[in-house]
Amino acid sequence: MKSRVTSDRLRDLQSITDAALAYLPLERLLDELLNRVVEILGADTSAILLLEDDDSTLVPRAAKGLEQEVERGIRIPVGRGFAGHIAATRRPVRILNVADADIYNPILREKGLASLLGVPLVVEGQAVGVLHVGTLTERAFDDEDVELLQRAGDRAALAISSRLTERERGLADALQRSLMPSLPELPAVSLAGRYLPAAAERLGGDWYDAFLLPDGRLGMAIGDVVGRGFHAAAIMGQLRSGLRAYALEAAAPGDVLERLSRLLRQIEPGRTATAVYLVLDPHGGGLSVASAGHPPPLVQPPGEEPGLLELPGSVPLGATRSVRYETQELDLEPGSVLVLYTDGFVERPGEPLDSRLNRLIATVRDGDEHLEHLGDTLVDVLLPEGPGGDDAALLMARAMPLGDTLVARFPAEVESIPGLRRLLGRWLDEAGATRRDIDDLTLAAAEAAANAIEHAYGLAPGVVELHATACDEDTVKVEISDFGSWRAPRGTHRGRGLLLMEGLTDDVEVVRTGEGTTVELTRRIGVEEAA
């Protein structure tokens, strides 16, 4: 029953692996390959097991005569039993009598297999899986059988590996894209981010994030999960979501990090990560920051030397059971640059950390005003040959001076009002307004915005536009526009809203057009306590 025409068999194997199968989807390729192996070797069963990403578990992917092996989802530790031994040693194994052998997978015995032959699937010296055949009657597989199966295994390994790599690459790119945030657009802050995967991996544990909080402030985070590959990236994704969720609920960055540390211990005990979370008031200039064992952010006030923030020492997330992270409150002048980074940017084997940090500082000092350009320069200077063994992330922010004319749009929601007040307050401050001018005008503008939000759009989503400009040296005009249908202020408190607008400004005009309504508030500013 066993043919001795070896060249015929080889031709069979070549046709299997090189031509016909090259265009099949992976699962069908494996099926077809197993059929052919059974036929050529005169075996009763065959199976392919592939190594998981963790490099320590074999999982059956296709089988002939042993279909339950795949269906049951059995997981075989590398080093254990027949297949586990082949993967661990990367050498073929012949078993004459299954009854006497060390077998991990019970299905092999349940099926009544007598003899087994297995070979490793090897790519670039690494085992990626195991191919084995079995017979119901006892059979001594000879060297020629081993060589044939190994050739089939080698060809299959290449096909599997190239398809896996292709699939993984696609997945990695998709995952990467979904994990890197789209940064919010704000009138008062510009933002830019960079992520560079490690040379050998497309995915890593570094992340950054920036998002608007309900009170109009900006949350910024950067972090580094220890480890690499899909698994680290998956943990990173959970931490990123966790941080956003906690940030919506807890005000202080230190509290947010404490909760995140507990979350990490829940997701995976023993895993650690470093992170910095800060909340920036883009309209008032305040900065609250907390760190969990992460390299300190760099700050450059306008016209001054950049420096690293001095934060109290702290342990990484997940490192200890109960932990407190201190929140530091700082001022950030308009025009300041803020740079958050991961250690992939500043740690390089063979180079002292200090000298790399100094290069970071010097690059920011001499860098371009435009953050996208600064990001490119930082990557060029610090990672001229790309990232090494570690991935690297960078998040930069600049608190912008607002300029002569302020234009900003907000969602037509009550929650937008505090942010609108802050932004207008900062612009008025830059325009030379007194504390009293700022208080009165921001309240009047908030009343106009509240009226637009409550009455212009009903339940449909809309926007409120804030426009502020100096009419002359000491008079400003603040306009609040909606693009909905006008309805006169109703109810007593809206009536009081109009009363307040009139009482707190010099002039109130309501302009209605086909497009919507604009409330114009005019007031002299810069006069110290005139009345």
Partner 1 sequence: MNGSAEAHVDYHDAVGVVTLTGEVDIVQAGQLRERLLGAIRNEDLGLVVDLTEASYIDSVGVSLLFELAEKLSERQLRLGVVLPDGGLVGRVLGIVNLAAVAEVHSSVDEALTSIRGA
CA angle 220, 223, 227 (to 5 degrees): 160
Q: Which residues ranging from 441 to 460 are in contact with partner 1 (CB under 8 A)? A: 443, 446-447, 450
Nearer to partner 1, 415 or 430 (CB): 415
Per the CB < 8 A criterion, the answer to whether 65 and 46 are in contact is yes
Using CB under 8 A as the binding rule, whether residue 149 contacts partner 1 is answered as: no
Using CB under 8 A as the binding rule, whether residue 430 contacts partner 1 is answered as: no
Nearer to partner 1, 236 or 448 (CB): 448
List the x/- string, 196-215, binding to partner 1 by CB under 8 A. -------------------x
Using CB under 8 A as the binding rule, whether residue 220 contacts partner 1 is answered as: no
- Orientation angle between helical segments 143-179 and 6-14, nearest 10 degrees: 10
* Structure-block tokens of residue 421: 């007040």
Using CB under 8 A as the binding rule, whether residue 415 contacts partner 1 is answered as: yes
Using CB under 8 A as the binding rule, whether residue 493 contacts partner 1 is answered as: yes
Using CB under 8 A as the binding rule, whether residue 330 contacts partner 1 is answered as: no
Taking the complex as a whole, the smallest distance from the CB of residue 284 to partner 1 amounts, in Å, to 6
Give 362's contacts (C-beta < 8 A, 6+ positions apart). Answer: none
Taking the complex as a whole, the smallest distance from the CB of residue 282 to partner 1 amounts, in Å, to 12
For strand 307-308 and strand 298-300, is the pairing parallel, antiparallel, or unpaired? antiparallel
Interface pick for partner 1 out of 40, 47, 179, 504 (rule CB under 8 A): 504
Per the CB < 8 A criterion, the answer to whether 513 and 519 are in contact is no
Taking the complex as a whole, the smallest distance from the CB of residue 518 to partner 1 amounts, in Å, to 19
DSSP 210-223: EEE-TTS-EEEEEE
Interface pick for partner 1 out of 92, 134, 229, 284 (rule CB under 8 A): 284
CA-derived radius of gyration, the chain: 33
Taking the complex as a whole, the smallest distance from the CB of residue 418 to partner 1 amounts, in Å, to 5
The beta-strand segments (E) located in 281-382 are: 286-292, 298-300, 307-308, 328-331, 337-341
Using CB under 8 A as the binding rule, whether residue 497 contacts partner 1 is answered as: yes
Interface pick for partner 1 out of 422, 455, 463, 516 (rule CB under 8 A): 422
Q: For residues 127-140, b (16+ Cβ closer than 10 Å) or e, as one string?
A: bbbbbbbbbeeebe
Taking the complex as a whole, the smallest distance from the CB of residue 483 to partner 1 amounts, in Å, to 21
Q: How many residues bind partner 1 (CB under 8 A)?
A: 27
Amino acid identity for residue 43 in this structure: A
* Structure-block tokens of residue 279: 């909340």
Using CB under 8 A as the binding rule, whether residue 474 contacts partner 1 is answered as: no
> Taking the CB of residue 340, how many other CB atoms lie within 10 A of it?
28
Q: For residues 283-318, b (16+ Cβ closer than 10 Å) or e, as one string?
A: bbbebbbbbbbbbbbbbbbeeeebeebebeebebbb
Nearer to partner 1, 314 or 416 (CB): 416
Q: Which residues ranging from 10 to 39 are in contact with partner 1 (CB under 8 A)? A: none
* Spatial separation of the C-alpha atoms in residues 34 and 376, rounded to whole Å: 51
Interface pick for partner 1 out of 487, 490, 496, 512 (rule CB under 8 A): 496
Using CB under 8 A as the binding rule, whether residue 490 contacts partner 1 is answered as: no
Using CB under 8 A as the binding rule, whether residue 476 contacts partner 1 is answered as: no
Interface pick for partner 1 out of 137, 178, 182, 492 (rule CB under 8 A): 492
The site for partner 1 (CB under 8 A) is made up of 215-216, 251, 284, 414-415, 417-418, 421-422, 425, 436, 439-440, 443, 446-447, 450, 492-494, 496-497, 499-500, 503-504
